[in-house]
Amino acid sequence: MAKKRKKRHQFSKGEFIFNFISLVLVIAVGVYFGYRSLYYYSKQNMKIKEEANTLNGFITSYEVVTDGDGLHHDEEGFYFKGKVENNYVLFANRLFRVIRVNENNTIKIVSEDNVASFMWGNKNNYKDSNLRGWLTKTDNNLSGIYYKTLPSKFISKTTWSEDTLKEKEIKRGEKKEKDFITIPTIYDYTLAGGKESYFNNGKVYYLLGHNEEDANLYIDEDGVLQNIDNIDGYGIRAVLTLKANVEISSGDGTSNNPYVISLKEEKNYINQYVKLGDETWKVFEDNSGLLKMFAVQNVDLLRNYSDRDNYFDINDKDNIAYYLNTAYLNSLSYKDLLIDDYYYTGEISDETDYDFFNVYTNFTVCKVGLLNIFDYNLTGSLDDYFYMNTRAGSSGMQYIGRSNGFLEEADVKDIKRIIPVITVDSKRIVKGSGTIDDPYILE
């Protein structure tokens, strides 16, 4: 007997539509989640790639140690301790050392060398000191000389406090302040290992904070913490905080190959070199494209400042100002490229409370000047040179700069190094990249 054939189920129109829609939905869900998976996978890879090209990404990839030299970790983030050799950063054509990477991925750095040398001022709190007024922006229009040399869009504010050192213990200041630029604090210095750390660079420089007698402090050439006299002049190392995830274009963090912060389209002439004739100059001020520079190569002038007094007087034939703007200027084959500029000569002394802002009360206009002690400069390789500042009440004495960071005085009749300062227009640059090996050339 033949088997009865099973009747095949026939889908109704409604069932067909339902199954079709279900299939479409399953496919759509699969495509959607597949796309999302690929999207987030690519985003994650992109994020990893971005972090790998950031300064904080490189630093925090270092091995963390719990003892000795290297990268350490605490509740505030990561910090370097000891005589480390892989925390060098080149930012805006100048060399820094990384102090720490904060929890929010911002990076606190300190200049490897002094950026200036001058006196603290009569008030011993940091907020009212010459240092703060010169380094960062305040409510005074003349403030922030150093800050103005930097591409500000890469910088966040740095938190600081007036800490106190008592019997080798640090009492953190209760009041927290924030500025774009500061100086190293006692806490920064001691946490890094003090004289046995990268902070010991063989130069003298101020620290932010006090001892138990409320005296201000500085680090000597051996890296030892000392008390200061506020009217003496010491070196200044700048501390600033880079924004999170700043990108680097090259480097491995060593002194010969530091991490280089990418400025992208930002142009920065500060600390770059210009070749004029046989002489090489370094830019320390950019005033809307007018570049003020001091001589660094093939200009070896040794002269006295004056036969009588310390005023920078272009009309006094016995004054260095007259010589620079006559005989020296006329000896330059490129003198027609030089622009008249302002040179500020206000008194800096006890009669003006050693106030930084008083330097702007007088000025002269000429083509060749000298460095002002309140100019930003990295002259660490130059020693025993005259500044142009006037010291009231002592017309026979003049300020001089030393390579170790001390600000000293000398008789105006003494023979010292003369470092000419000139100004040119950046629009005259026709070639060069601004490095010492490929300086800018003007025509």
CA distance 96 to 100: 12
Distance separating alpha carbons of residues 59 and 189, to the nearest angstrom: 19
Percent of the chain with pLDDT over 70: 87
281 φ/ψ angles, rounded to the nearest 5 degrees: -125, 150
d(CA 109, CA 61): 18
Q: How far apart are CA 443 and CA 324, in angstroms?
A: 22
C-alpha–C-alpha distance, residues 268 and 24, integer Å: 58
pLDDT (tens digit per residue) in 235-251: 999 999 999 999 999 99
Give the pTM.
0.86
Q: What does the pLDDT read at residue 48?
A: 37
User: Residue ranges of the domains in the chain?
Assistant: 55-261, 273-442
Q: How far is the C-alpha of 434 from the C-alpha of 46, rounded, in Å?
A: 33
Tell me the C-alpha distance between 443 and 427, whole Å. Answer: 9
Which residues lie below 8 Å from residue 83, measured CB to CB, with a gap of 6+? 69, 193, 196, 197, 198
Q: Looking at residue 298, what is its pLDDT?
A: 85
Tell me which residues of the chain have a pLDDT lower than 70.
1-52, 392-395
